[in-house]
Amino acid sequence: MRIHADLSARAVVHHDALPWVPSTVPGVERRLLERDGGEIARATSIVRYAPGTQFDRHTHALGEEIFVLQGELGDETGTHAAGTYLKNPPGSSHAPWSTPGCLLFVKLRHLDPADGECRVVDTTNARWFPGLSPGLSVMPLSEFRTQHTALVRWAPGTTFSAHRHHGGEEIFVLEGVFEDEHGRYPSGTWLRSPHLSQHRPFSTEGCTILVKTGHLPPAP
């Protein structure tokens, strides 16, 4: 299965426009934002657990990143409420569940194979740092070599300088409306800008975005 699988192409998707697709586990459904492969795939998805769902134990050969959007997700590391970021490194395994149900943003098989760090960050309590422009605040979540994952908060009326994305950039809009010269992206939008793409982002109304950079390869 190939959905927005060309990593050299820009992609913009609002997940509410997509259907729910059943997984191999009853009670777990997905909205497929990006996918390259079968049941084992490089993928970016919105994942929904029905209350009382248990997922089978599985191994993340090339890692997994999760952001809990709603509800609670449990696994061997604990119970993770909305606002939690998790990084399960390459080679790790777990058997997640959700007692009340949950909604997740999930990226599979995007991590550097040498990245062995497990991360669990409660972003509702973690520290924000000043960004590179007035009105920007940044919460680092994970860094390894060229790859960086962070939350970025934009105050209303904030504009950032035009810049290129070496290694590309992916954004999931958590709150508010993110903007650039190409359009407006409300909460629930996923967008991918490929290696060496350029834009000049801003936010008229303010927003909070989940950002991953430095993980997309150059065009072949």
Q: Please give the pLDDT value at position 220.
A: 66
Half-sphere exposure of residue 19, counting CA atoms within 13 Å on the CB side? 3
pLDDT of the residue at 141: 98
Q: Which residues have CB under 8 Å from 17's CB, separation 6+? A: none
In this predicted model, what pLDDT tens digit does every residue of 17-52 receive, in sequence order?
999 999 989 999 999 999 999 878 899 999 999 999
145-168 pLDDT, tens per residue? 999 999 999 999 999 999 999 999
CA 128 to chain centre: 18
Residue 78, phi-psi category: left (phi > 0), alpha (psi -120 to 50), beta (remainder): left
Phi-psi label, residue 4: left if phi above 0, alpha if psi -120 to 50, beta otherwise: left
CATH class of the domain whose range is 19-122: mainly beta
% of the chain exceeding 90 in pLDDT: 90
Contact 196, 144 (CB under 8 A): no
**Same fold for the pair 19-122 and 129-213:** yes
Please tell me the class of the 129-213 domain.
mainly beta
pLDDT of 214 strictly over 80: yes
Angle at 148 between CA 36 and CA 60, to 5 degrees: 45
Q: Distance between CA atoms of 208 and 148, rounded to whole angstroms?
A: 16
pLDDT of residue 27: 96
Whether 85 has a pLDDT exceeding 80, the answer reads yes
Q: Where are the domains of the chain?
A: 19-122, 129-213
Tell me what the mean pLDDT of segment 68-97 comes to: 95
What is the residue-wise DSSP string for 6-72? -TTS-EEEEGGGSPPEE-SSTTEEEEEEEEEESSSEEEEEEEEEPTTEEPPPEEETT-EEEEEEEEE
Q: Which helix (DSSP H) or strand (DSSP E) does residue 136 occupy?
A: strand 136-144
* pTM of the predicted protein model: 0.96
Q: How far is CA 80 from CA 107, 120, 184, in A?
A: 17, 9, 31
